[in-house]
Amino acid sequence: MKTQETTHNSKQNSFRIITSLMLSWLLGTASVCLAAGNTWTEKAPMPTARSLLSASAVDGKIYAIGGRKTNGSSASSAVEQYDPATDTWTTKAPMPTARQWLSTSAVNGKIYAFGGSPRTYQPAFSTVEEYDPATNTWTEKAPMSAARLVHSTSAVDGKIYVIGGFVRPGVWTEELATSDVEEYDPATDTWTQKAPMPTVRGFLATSVVNGKIYAFGGATAAGGTILSTVEEYDPTTDTWTTKASMPKARATFSSTSAVNGIIYVIGGASGGSGLSIVEAYDPATDTWTEKTPMPRARGFSATSAVNGKIYAIGGSLGSPWHGISMVEEYEAIFIPADFKRDGIVDIKDLSILIENWGQNEPLVDIAPLPFGDGTVDALDLEILMSYWGQRVEDVVAHWALDETEGVVAHDSIGNNNGTLHGEPLWQPTGGKFAGALEFDGIDDYVSTDFVLDPAKGSFSVFAWIKGGAPGQVIISQRDNIDGRTTNPGSTWLWADSSYGRLMTRLMHPPFDPLMSESVITDGQWHHIGLVYDYIGLCRYLYVDGAEVAKDTDVVGGVGSDGGLYFGAGKYLGAAGFFSGLIDDVRIYRRPLSAEEIEALAQ
């Protein structure tokens, strides 16, 4: 027993010593702000301009449903499908009951539309209709027990919860806010009354994270008090809990959206004006962070998330609240090691990791990326340190290649997941950091969709490799054929065919390849990289943290919009397939400094 106790104390003391050394070093290091990395992009407009609509996503496509075109007009029955992959809209079968102020939710590939009203000051509906995108048909379902509008719905475990809203029993009658909650089961087409929300309100929004529903903001009545209230509903216990209030009180946002466990409250209205504010709520820490605002302030819009991106659809810019067709895409980027979700990787994040050391804490257990291994340990500490000092707005993508199975190489920063081809092998403990991916040199490779155009700005790309042979390719960008036009790709990182020296063919032709004298195929781990400086029109090659080659003449202007290959040339030629290990591939949207590159290689 004494021996076991001595061993336990020894481990504790060793950990304290390591922690103290790291804390001493980190306290002298500047923290880095990461909050600015979240971006907005305008997309193809909705065919029918409208506000007071709702939206739901099924199989990667968003369905914009109902609403109204202008203030005072009759409600719309329009249903239009948006495909984020192609940025296109398709008109679908109209909803049988035209309505505004409705709410929709999706369960098992079908969308359910609840309540609403036909026109301003008209009685509310109790109507429920089911839309099947596979057949483009509508079916009437069991109505709600009480008619209502400006409510919100969210789905958990195959059931939909209708929350709050206003009751308007007759024409031009007073609207009465409600706190009622009803559970709808699509499998049985039945309704069950649930515990009411603590705060009576309409014009609210709800979203789901980890099986719990969060209700945000709203108003006590039409023209009443605008709320910042946040309340959490747990369907398993049928109970409500008050959470941290929104920094900005607001109403008339049709929905919020959740990405990676964070809920984003977007736009809305307060008084007679639309809002552009975006605030992110983290249920794990019960905290709020302000994010990049919408380019155009608006309320009465709908939002929906697909593949980690949020789409704000339609709405109104302000009084007199006419509908618009605008669609904007929000990409929420975050660093996995930012445990506080405050935009800064600093001593606070390290403290959280230390507090959870040895435990199964999903928030902190990030390694191996993307899902962790059930224990907070040295692997998670390595990931945290690898992000220290990097701004999130600079990171385009990061493929840690730490998976243990499957055919997807996850991008832990954005949505540039790669697909495995052939039979490359996951090596969970064989990487430079945690796992790596082993290629056979015959037909193994990873492909991604378009990540960046090298002619449109500076960038840096780095990876760890072990093995390979002369003439084999580590990273290339394939050609992209658009009609009769071919946008040629190029080989970004390659071992030359004579001696296995690092070289690049970026923007070749017409510019000559850039060759180093550093052999990278000697069977040892090497950190290799390419930096392109858009301002200086110059390429740089790096091996193990040191610059090994740079251009003497200007190079630039040769773009490509093809996807990437890891472990293969752009033509997938037999000689180019890589035989060895590739680990920790990172792309940045700026030229890293020599000091940053040296730190990455350590």
User: What CATH number did the domain enclosing 295 receive?
Assistant: 2.120.10.80
Give the rounded percent of residues in the chain with a pLDDT score beyond 90: 62
* Residue 510, domain extent: 391-600
Query: Is residue 31 assigned to a domain?
Result: no
End residue of a domain, out of 384, 407, 423: 384
Confidence band of 17 (pLDDT split at 50, 70, 90): very low
- What is the rounded average pLDDT of the residues 47-65? 95
342 and 324 inside one domain: no
- What is the rounded average pLDDT of the residues 102-117? 96
555 and 462 inside one domain: yes
410 and 487 inside one domain: yes
375 and 287 inside one domain: no
Angle between helices 347-355 and 2-27 (to 10 degrees): 170
Picking from 170, 267, 176, 171, the residue whose alpha carbon sits closest to that of residue 217 is 267
Query: Is residue 586 assigned to a domain?
Result: yes
What pLDDT digit, counting tens, does each position of 18-32 carry? Answer: 455 454 444 443 333
143 and 46 inside one domain: yes
User: What CATH number did the domain enclosing 435 receive?
Assistant: 2.60.120.200
Q: Residue 378's pLDDT is what?
A: 87
Whether the predicted model's global pTM rises above the 0.75 cut: no
Report how far apart, in Å, the C-alpha atoms of 56 and of each of 85, 131, 150, 265 are.
Answer: 16, 11, 16, 16
What pLDDT digit, counting tens, does each position of 399-408 carry? Answer: 999 999 999 9
What pLDDT digit, counting tens, does each position of 426-477 carry? Answer: 999 899 988 999 999 999 999 998 898 998 889 999 999 999 999 999 999 9
Q: Residue 289's pLDDT is what?
A: 84
Name the residue with tokens 């928030």: 363
Query: Is residue 159 assigned to a domain?
Result: yes
439 and 406 inside one domain: yes
444 and 573 inside one domain: yes
End residue of a domain, out of 315, 349, 384: 384
430 and 543 inside one domain: yes
What pLDDT digit, counting tens, does each position of 211-264 carry? Answer: 999 999 999 988 789 999 999 999 999 999 999 999 999 887 645 788 878 899
Contacts of 344 (CB under 8 A, 6+ apart): 31, 32, 33, 34, 35, 338
Instruction: Find out whether 162 and 182 touch, Cβ atoms under 8 Å.
Output: yes
Query: Is residue 7 assigned to a domain?
Result: no
Query: Is residue 494 assigned to a domain?
Result: yes
- The total of structural domains in the chain comes to 3
Query: Is residue 541 assigned to a domain?
Result: yes
Contacts of 573 (CB under 8 A, 6+ apart): none
**Rounded distance between C-alpha atoms, residue 253 and residue 207, angstroms:** 12
Lowest mean pLDDT among 296-310, 315-329, 330-344, 566-580: 330-344
